[in-house]
């Protein structure tokens, strides 16, 4: 059965997907996927997301070239979320970090400390093209 047909979607038609590094298992980003995004991800072997702001299905990394090649897809016990192991090209986060989870909560100070190096400059990568 196609993967998209095996899942239970929320009342808006999405399942959350943990995208993580296939080598280190580091969590990279959490995506919400509709059935089309799940189907396209499974078919093409590259993570796709439905961008509500653009109203269409997009290859993750379409603009930046920072794509995520699927290695394995796991379904949780309840069939309502995914964990997708990927080979990440360059970086997952549009802010220039390898993972979107680059800030650690510091309970002593109550602040979010940046604990990763910036890999690229978003201003360079996301240049306006028009």
78 binds a copy of itself per the rule CB under 8 A: yes
- What radius of gyration do the chain's Cα atoms show? 16
- 3-class state of residue 102 by DSSP: coil
User: Quick one: DSSP state of residue 80?
Assistant: S
Assigned token pair, 45 = 């072997």
18-77 positions binding a copy of itself, by CB under 8 A: 18, 20-21, 24-27, 29-30, 42, 72-77
| Contact predicate 3/38, CB 8 Å | yes
Q: How many residues bind a copy of itself (CB under 8 A)?
A: 39
| Residue ranges that bind a copy of itself, judged by CB under 8 A | 1-3, 6, 16, 18, 20-21, 24-27, 29-30, 42, 72-78, 81, 83, 93-95, 97, 100-105, 107, 110-112, 115
């Amino acid at each position: 059965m196609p993967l998209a047909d095996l899942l239970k979607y929320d009342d808006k038609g999405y399942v959350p997907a943990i995208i993580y590094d296939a080598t280190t298992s580091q969590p990279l980003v959490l995506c919400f996927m509709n059935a089309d995004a799940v189907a396209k991800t499974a078919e093409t072997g590259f993570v796709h997301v439905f961008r509500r702001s653009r109203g269409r299905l997009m290859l993750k990394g379409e603009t930046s070239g920072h794509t995520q090649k699927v290695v394995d897809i796991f379904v949780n016990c309840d069939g309502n979320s995914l964990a997708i192991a990927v080979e990440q090209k360059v970086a997952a986060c549009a802010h220039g970090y390898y993972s979107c989870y680059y800030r650690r909560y510091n309970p002593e100070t109550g602040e979010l400390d940046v604990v990763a190096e910036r890999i690229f400059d978003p201003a360079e990568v996301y240049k306006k093209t028009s």
